């Protein structure tokens, strides 16, 4: 098959969506399929003949995001040359809307992966964050999903949320796969040596983009008391993002971290074997985000035989089994989180290793090969349905379909705006 991936974020931007696009693309190509990627320009990007970059505004609203500048017919040559069998959209706006139009024009089925609870990212939009913004984005995303042929949900709990919000299109649970084999070959001893961490140290590890939606204030407040209580505990963070400097300053000024500063490491972004070594070096992975749809880094840590302490949240509850491969805490309570970490510290090494093995068993069910093959099966089914539908469509009906799409996009925007201003009940009443 010829597969066109369309995403608003891609390398060198670091995050779950670029990782997902890259992982599936690599697996599809291994299995003999052709894949092209469409993404905005990003500073520091590498040239790749299989990636078409569209013009974009850099550092939107002071962030590290790029925002596409819509230019009509910019992708015409790519579409004429590539002729995709499947178009896969990874966002419900910007290039997501472009994906809808391209899919309609070339009569290819459109797949959409719901990667993000966008209402938890509205602080990136200019203006005061509010419930109105949350209603707007939720309505917009639901309407977009209902214009697609097939929805991928990264976890079962996310699929249930989409159904509750009114998504009526077919939904399949398709997580992003992880490279279990590569992670399991990481060398934790080498990592400790290279970063001068004692062999007997207990490492609480964290990997993620350092941003507000990751609940970092809670996480730090829960981990730092453990460092003060136990002098062999280290807190090691990998990642970058808009809160990186805020965290550094916090560690410099916090009374606890001042006494433990030599046991707090912020390493920036780690990639490839160095990241895998870090996963293998950890004794426990701490995670407090509520904004995940899958929690890719959680599963990667588990592939490195690292048990997890996390807050209960969509995407996390599917993989972290309380008391078996980690701790899944139901309430957002800092002292309870600290206590859970301390319990791991006090466990015999043999018990921690047993939980780590259970963690790896869970991760193996989400290998990149398994997830990619599942996605391809759904692609094939969507393609067969699309081909059958096209045979029944006249030229006039094709033109009406494309006009109807533009109308549906306007209606969706209008409904989202109405719900933001008036609320759902009043919009429903007006539509009746």
pLDDT digits (tens, 9 = 90+) for 92-129: 999 999 999 999 888 899 999 999 888 877 766 666 66
Q: Is the pLDDT of residue 396 over 50?
A: no
Same domain, 66 and 208: no
Q: Is the pLDDT of residue 43 over 90?
A: no
Q: Domain boundary at 364, 379, 407, which?
A: 364
Same domain, 119 and 29: yes
Strand arrangement, sheet containing 284-287? 264-266, 233-238, 202-207, 284-287, 308-311, 326-329
Same domain, 353 and 391: no
Structural domains counted in the chain:
2
The answer to whether 15 touches 209, Cβ cutoff 8 Å, is yes
Q: How confident is the model at residue 316 (pLDDT cuts 50, 70, 90)?
A: very high
Q: Is the pLDDT of residue 425 over 60?
A: no
Return the pLDDT at 390: 57
**Overall average pLDDT of the 310-318 stretch:** 94
Return the pLDDT at 107: 86
Q: How far apart are CA 16 and CA 43, in angstroms?
A: 18
Return the pLDDT at 427: 46
CATH number of the CATH domain containing 286: 3.40.50.2000
Same domain, 345 and 407: no
What's the pLDDT tens digit per position in 272-295?
A: 999 999 999 999 999 999 888 888
Same domain, 385 and 261: no
The answer to whether 136 touches 417, Cβ cutoff 8 Å, is yes
Q: Which domain holds residue 267?
A: 180-364
Structure-model confidence comparison of residues 329 and 133, the more confident one: 329
Same domain, 277 and 379: no
Average pLDDT, the chain: 89
User: Global pTM?
Assistant: 0.83
Dihedral of the alpha carbons of 366, 369, 374, 377, in degrees to the nearest 10: 180
**Overall average pLDDT of the 24-36 stretch:** 97
Same domain, 33 and 143: yes
Of the ranges 127-141, 186-200, 388-402, which one carries the lowest mean pLDDT score? Answer: 388-402
Q: Domain boundary at 364, 395, 414, which?
A: 364
Q: Is the pLDDT of residue 308 over 90?
A: yes
Return the pLDDT at 424: 54
**Overall average pLDDT of the 221-232 stretch:** 94
Give the helix/strand (H/E) hosting 38.
strand 34-40
Q: Is the pLDDT of residue 48 over 70?
A: yes
Q: Domain boundary at 318, 333, 364, which?
A: 364
Return the pLDDT at 269: 94
Same domain, 98 and 187: no
Same domain, 60 and 194: no
**Overall average pLDDT of the 13-34 stretch:** 94
Return the pLDDT at 418: 79
Q: How far apart are CA 151 and CA 223, in angstroms?
A: 37
């Amino acid at each position: 098959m010829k597969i066109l991936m369309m995403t608003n974020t891609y390398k060198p931007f670091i995050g779950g969506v670029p990782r997902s696009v890259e992982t599936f693309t690599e697996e599809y190509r291994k299995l003999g399929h052709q894949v092209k990627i469409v993404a905005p320009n990003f500073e520091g990007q590498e040239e790749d003949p299989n990636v078409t970059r569209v013009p974009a505004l850099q550092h939107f609203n002071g962030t590290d995001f790029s925002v596409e500048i819509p230019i009509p017919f910019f992708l015409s040559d790519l579409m004429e040359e590539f002729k995709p069998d499947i178009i896969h959209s990874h966002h419900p706006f910007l290039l997501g809307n472009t994906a809808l139009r391209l899919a309609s024009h070339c009569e290819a089925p459109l797949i959409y992966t719901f990667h993000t609870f966008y209402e938890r990212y509205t602080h990136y939009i200019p203006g005061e964050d509010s419930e109105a913004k949350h209603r707007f984005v939720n309505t917009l995303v639901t309407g977009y999903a209902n214009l697609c042929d097939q929805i991928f949900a990264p976890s079962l709990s996310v699929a249930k949320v989409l159904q509750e919000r009114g998504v009526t299109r077919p939904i399949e649970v398709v997580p992003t796969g992880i490279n279990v084999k590569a992670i399991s070959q990481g060398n934790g001893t080498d990592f400790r040596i290279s970063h001068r961490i004692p062999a007997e140290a207990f490492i609480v590890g964290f990997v993620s983009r350092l941003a507000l939606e990751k609940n970092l204030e809670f996480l730090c407040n829960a981990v730092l008391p453990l460092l003060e209580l136990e002098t062999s505990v280290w807190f090691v963070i990998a990642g970058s993002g808009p809160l990186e400097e805020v965290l550094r300053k916090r560690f410099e000024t916090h009374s606890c971290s001042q006494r433990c500063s030599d046991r707090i490491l912020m390493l920036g972004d780690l990639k490839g074997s160095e990241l895998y070594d870090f996963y293998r070096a950890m004794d426990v992975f701490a995670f407090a985000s509520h904004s995940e749809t899958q929690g890719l880094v959680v599963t990667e840590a588990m592939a490195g035989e690292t048990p997890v302490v996390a807050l209960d949240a969509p995407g996390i509850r599917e993989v972290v089994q309380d008391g078996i491969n980690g701790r899944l805490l139901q309430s957002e309570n800092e002292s309870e989180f600290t206590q859970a970490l301390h319990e791991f510290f006090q466990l015999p090494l043999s018990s921690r290793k047993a939980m780590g093995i259970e963690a790896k068993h869970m991760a193996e069910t989400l290998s990149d090969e398994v997830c990619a093959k599942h996605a391809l099966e759904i692609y094939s089914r969507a393609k067969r349905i699309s081909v059958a539908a096209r045979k029944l469509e006249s030229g006039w009906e094709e033109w009406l379909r494309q006009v109807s799409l533009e109308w549906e996009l306007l209606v969706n925007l209008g409904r989202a705006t109405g719900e933001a201003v008036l609320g759902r009940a009043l919009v429903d009443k007006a539509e009746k």
